[in-house]
Amino acid sequence: MDPQRSVEETEIALTGPGGGCTNDRGSQNPCYQTLSELRINCIKSDVYICSFSKKADSLMMWNYYNDGDLTNCCNIHIEPDTIVNNYREKSIELNFENVIYDEKKKIENLCRIIKLIYEIKDQDPYLEKTKYLIEIVLENLQFKYKNESYSDEEEIRAIYYVAKEEGSDIGIKYRTAHGMMIPYIIMGLDLEQISGVSLGPRNCNDKSVETMQEYLQSVGISATVKKSNIPIRF
């Protein structure tokens, strides 16, 4: 967040890890409409992701993101449904997906979708390249899955699919991380959609809460600040 901003919004950055692709038939045929109802993207797209967690106060997450005394993390509380509806009013389709970690659920989900494509193909004259479409759908579904070793994160991903032909119009920026150039886009977030802020267990005291509350008020955010309930022992 930038305290110098005059507009009543902050920003979320969605990182682009890769691209998806699909048949170029368009979205009017029954197969694409059915897959769309399942929130399965099948448009030739680049994919941008912003990660969140359902855990508001996790020692593992605080340790993972808090770099000793160099940083003091905070947890920003938002309501996904409110954000989705807000973007939908702007004709922007942003999906929040619960990451699937369980291997059995992954297989069941994939089998269900592949079966659906085969069931539709006999009724859909446009679905000529079934194997090609399956490859496309699987490529896009990868962003909803994660290794079960990370299940404690309880991650929710905001996934934004940008059609290839629209990619040059969304203001792509770049940052460096882990020795790589990573593309990302900035999307506005109304300040009223921030419902609360939690401070991490390290360097967390009444003065920290008071200062954070003052800062939020100074930038027009009406949200309650809380301390972590996790005790820290050294």
What are the residue ranges spanned by the domains of the chain? 9-56+80-192
Place of tokens 């490529």: 139
Please report the pLDDT score of residue 213 as a whole number: 92
**pTM for this entry:** 0.73
User: 3-state class of 162 per DSSP?
Assistant: strand
Strands (E) across the chain are located at 9-20, 45-53, 74-78, 95-98, 155-163, 173-177, 180-190, 194-199, 224-227
11, 103, 97: which is closest to 47 by C-alpha? 97
The sign of the torsion formed by the CA atoms of 185, 199, 228, 73 equals positive
**HSE-up (13 A, CA, CB side) for residue 17:** 13
β-pairing verdict for 45-53 and 173-177: unpaired
Please report the pLDDT score of residue 18 as a whole number: 47
User: 3-state class of 187 per DSSP?
Assistant: strand
Please report the pLDDT score of residue 14 as a whole number: 56
**Tokens found for residue 181:** 């150039």
Please report the pLDDT score of residue 204 as a whole number: 76
104, 71, 16: which is closest to 200 by C-alpha? 71
Please report the pLDDT score of residue 134 as a whole number: 77
Q: What are phi and psi of 229, to 5 degrees?
A: -90, 5
In this prediction, the residues of the chain whose per-residue pLDDT falls under 50 are: 1-10, 17-32
Q: Which residues contact 39 (CB under 8 A, 6 or more apart)?
A: 95, 97
- Cβ–Cβ under 8 Å, residues 188 and 89: no
Q: 96 pairs with which residues across the strands?
A: 158
Please report the pLDDT score of residue 35 as a whole number: 56
Distance CA 54, CA 123 (A): 40
